[in-house]
Structure 1
C-alpha cells in the first residue's frame, strides 16, 4: 500500500524489534542490515547485508537469508563527524624527559581539539620522525621500513596538569597562558559534547593518571560488556599477561557486579595481583577518546566488539581478534581487513596469543602497527560514510534489479567494475524504507552504465 520496494530490518531480535511487520510481507524485498549481529532465521527475510570476511560464502548455510555483500565491510561508524577532535593529537612531554629526537610514548598523556592554533602559538611543538624495520608479512618473512611520526608539545613541567587531575579540577592554565580542560570533565560542562552530538571546543587532556593506569606499562584493553568474556577468552588474556610481565589489562565495570567475578577467575588461572584494572563506564565522547591510552585492544572472539571495535580503532589503538564462524564473531576481522590490517586477525587461539604478545614485547612492531592504524582511520573506507552510503544504495538497486526481472533472491557476491550508479531520479527509481523504531527513510536513484576504459 505504501509503495515500498525494499523494507530494511535494523532491529532483528533486539529491544524495540518489529518483526511482526516483516512477517506480514509488506514489501517485495525485505533485508536484514547492521542492527542485529546475526541471521533472522525467518523465511520472510530475503537478504542480509554483509561482506566476504564477515560471512564467507562457505558459511552461507548459517544464514536463512541470501548474502548481499558490501565491497569493503558491512559495518560503518560516523566517528569522523562525531569525534573530529580525535583526528589529530599532540603528545605531551616534559622537557628533558627523553633524549633529542627520541619519540616519547604516544599514549601516556595527549591533547585533542578541533583547533590546535592556540597550542601551536603558545607551546614548543616539534614533529619527531623515526624509521622502523618491521615484518613485511604476517608470517614474519622479510622486513619493511615504516616511517613513524609523532607531534610533541614540550612543556617545562606537567605539574599543573597532574595537580588538576589529582584534585579533580575542571581545567588548568599553564605558565604560557594555555588553558587545558580535564578530559574527565566533559560530561559536566557540555552534555551534547559528552554524548557525541557536537564536538568539544576546548583543548582536552587525556592521561593515564586519570584512570590509574601505570605510565610505563603495556596497556591491553577491552571495553565490551563483561558477558562477552567467556572462560576461554579470559584464559588467553591471562596467558598474554604472563608472557608480557610489564603489561596490565584494562576493563570496564560493565556491569560493576562482574568485576569481582572476573578478578576471582583470573587469579584462579594464575594471573598475578594488580594486573587487571577496572574503570567505570563513561559517556560516549570520553569512552572513545580514552581509548588512545591503551596500547592494544584484545577483542572478545565469541562476540566481537562491533561498535566498541570501531570506537577503539578510531582512537588509533590496534585490535587483535580471532575470527569464528558466526557473524557476531567475525565483525572485527572485517573491520581490520577493511582498515588494511589483516595480520591482526588470528586463525587459532595460539596465534591470537602470539600476536598480542608480539605487540607487547616488540616495541618497534607495536609502534609501527599503531602508526598504521592511526593513518588508516582517515585513509581507508572503514569510517567513510559517503562511500558507504553510495555502495549501500548500489546494493539495494541490484536487489531490485533481480526483483524487476522476476528473479528470486540469490546471493549477491561480486561487485562489477564496468558501471557505476548515479544518485538522482530516473526510470528505475525504487524506494527503501527502514523499520527501526518509528524512523522511515526513503532513497531513490538510477543507474548509469559506463564502458570500462
Structure 2
C-alpha cells in the first residue's frame, strides 16, 4: 500500500489501473493485509459501500483492544441534564492548517451560555497567529501530544466532555486510538475525514443532503446529522489585493484554468479532460499547486497528450492570506474526481473564482457540489464528465458569460449560506443539542434532519 500511496503523491501513473483490483483483493483476502481507508478515497470506481467495508476491517482488531482497555479503565458518564454541553474537538491541526482556517470562526461564534468548548491537540505546537487564535477560541485547550492514547482519553473523560468531535478520522497523523476508547458518551465524525470511520467509533457524522443523500445511510456506520446547507464551515477571511499575473508566475494573456488540489487527487482520466480543455482554448494555461516530486511526471503526462508542458504553471505553497489573494487571478477552477476539492473549493469561491465539478457517489466526490449549491451556483455542477468539459469550454470561450458568472458569485458569496458563520454555528449547535437530548432520553443515535 505504501508504494501505491507514493505513486499517487508523485503522479506516477504507470500502473494506475491496477491499484484498485489489488486493494479489493486485499480487502477480501484472509490474513492481516489491510488497506488504509484514506487511500481508498481517491481510487476511481470504489463505492461508498466498499469504503465502509475497508474502515470496518481497518479498525476491527483495534476496536477489540480498545474495548478491553475501556473495560479496564471503567469509564462512567454523568448523563444528568446540565446548563452547558461540553464539546471537545480532537485534532492534530490546531495550527496554520486548512481545517483550522475552516473552523476558527465557528469556534469563536459558539454560544458560551449553552456550550463549553474545549480543544485537544496532538499535533504540532507552534507560536503562530492561528495557534494563538485557536487557543483563545476554546474555553479550555489541552496539548495531549505527549500523552498515550489511554492518558489522552482519561484527560478528556476527567474534563467531563459530553461530546467528542473527531476532526481527523483516518487522515495523516490521526490518533483514532483515542476516539476508539470512547472517552465521551457521544462521539462525532466531522470535517476532516470525508467518509465513515466504521462501527463503534463515532455515533454521528455531520453532513448535508448533497454529500450524503438519505439513501446513502447504509454505507455509513454513523447516523447522519444533517446541516441545513453545506456541512463545511467557512468564514470570511480578509481578501488582500491580487498580485500581478507576472508576480504569480502567470503569462500576461490567456485563460487561466486552475486546480490547487493535492497531487494525489489527480488522475489520468482527469488529466485527459484537462488536456482537451487546453487544446480547445489556445493560449490558456493550467495552474497547479507545486509538488516537487510530481512536477516532472505531470509535465511528461501533458506532453504525452500533445500539449506543450510549458502551459503547466506551478504555484508555490503560500500562507493563507497570500494564497487567497492570488486565487483572484484564476479564471476557472477545475475539480478532480473521485476525491474532489474541499477547502480548496470554498477558498476559490471566496476569492471570486468559480469552480466546475462533476459529483460522484462518495462523500469525497460530492463536496464541491455541496459548496456550489450553498453559494447559489448549481449551474457549475455537471451531470457527467462530458457536461463538465462543456461547461468549462463554454466559460473559457465566452468572456461576457464568465464575467456575468463572476458577478453573480461576488454577490452570492455575501448573501447566501456558504459564508454565513452565524447561521452555520446555530445550525451545528442545533445538531449538538439534539444529539445530547436523544442521549439523555435513552435513544440510540439516529438520523437528525430538521429540514
TM-score by length of 2: 0.63
Pairing 1:411-426 to 2, within 5 Å after superposition: 411-415=447-451
Q: For residues 336-386 of structure 1, what are the alpha-carbon distances to aligned partners after superposition, in whole Å with 9 as ceiling and x for unaligned?
A: 000000111112111111110011011221111111112222211212221
Tell me by how many angstroms 1:273 deviates.
4.4
Partner of 1:382: 418
Q: For residues 403-429 of structure 1, what are the alpha-carbon distances to aligned partners after superposition, in whole Å with 9 as ceiling and x for unaligned?
A: 2222211112333xxxxxxxxxxxxxx
Q: For residues 31-76 of structure 1, what are the alpha-carbon distances to aligned partners after superposition, in whole Å with 9 as ceiling and x for unaligned?
A: 1111222211132311100000011112222211111100011101
The 3 A distance-change label for structure 1 pair 375 and 18 is: same
- Distance, in Å, in 1 between the alignment partners of 2:244 and 2:286 is 16
Q: For residues 260-287 of structure 1, what are the alpha-carbon distances to aligned partners after superposition, in whole Å with 9 as ceiling and x for unaligned?
A: 1111111112223432222222222111
Partner of 1:304: 340
- Distance, in Å, in 1 between the alignment partners of 2:376 and 2:450 is 20
**3-state DSSP of counterpart to 2:182:** coil
Tell me by how many angstroms 1:292 deviates.
0.4
The 3 A distance-change label for structure 1 pair 334 and 322 is: same
> Which residue of the other structure, out of 168, 176, 179, is the alignment partner of 1:19?
176
Partner of 2:229: 72
Q: Is the 8 A contact 1:223 1:251 kept in 2?
A: yes
State the aligned residue count: 294
Q: Is the 8 A contact 1:251 1:276 kept in 2?
A: yes
> Which residue of the other structure, out of 264, 268, 275, is the alignment partner of 1:227?
264
The 3 A distance-change label for structure 1 pair 205 and 77 is: closer
- Distance, in Å, in 1 between the alignment partners of 2:218 and 2:277 is 35
Partner of 1:211: 248
Pairing 1:152-191 to 2, within 5 Å after superposition: none
**3-state DSSP of counterpart to 1:322:** coil
Q: Is the 8 A contact 1:211 1:279 kept in 2?
A: yes
Partner of 1:6: 163
**3-state DSSP of counterpart to 2:412:** helix
> Which residue of the other structure, out of 269, 273, 290, is the alignment partner of 2:305?
269
Tell me by how many angstroms 1:16 deviates.
4.3
Q: Is the 8 A contact 2:335 2:356 kept in 1?
A: yes
Partner of 2:401: 365
**3-state DSSP of counterpart to 2:243:** strand
Q: For residues 56-103 of structure 1, what are the alpha-carbon distances to aligned partners after superposition, in whole Å with 9 as ceiling and x for unaligned?
A: 11222221111110001110123x1x32xx2xxxxxxxxxxxxxxxxx
Q: Is the 8 A contact 2:242 2:326 kept in 1?
A: no
Partner of 2:199: 42
- Distance, in Å, in 2 between the alignment partners of 1:246 and 1:230 is 24
- Distance, in Å, in 2 between the alignment partners of 1:22 and 1:365 is 49
- Distance, in Å, in 1 between the alignment partners of 2:317 and 2:336 is 18
Q: For residues 292-342 of structure 1, what are the alpha-carbon distances to aligned partners after superposition, in whole Å with 9 as ceiling and x for unaligned?
A: 001000011221121111111111000011101111111111110000001
> Which residue of the other structure, out of 49, 55, 58, is the alignment partner of 2:215?
58
The 3 A distance-change label for structure 1 pair 351 and 205 is: closer
Q: Is the 8 A contact 1:62 1:326 kept in 2?
A: no
Partner of 1:260: 296
Tell me by how many angstroms 1:12 deviates.
0.8
Gaps of 5+ in 2: 1-76, 78-157
Tell me by how many angstroms 1:247 deviates.
1.6
User: Which structure's residues are more often helix, by fraction?
Assistant: 2
Gaps of 5+ in 1: 87-111, 113-203, 416-453
Tell me by how many angstroms 1:205 deviates.
5.5
- Distance, in Å, in 2 between the alignment partners of 1:13 and 1:70 is 22
- Distance, in Å, in 1 between the alignment partners of 2:161 and 2:295 is 48
Q: Is the 8 A contact 2:372 2:381 kept in 1?
A: yes
Give me the CA root mean square deviation.
1.6
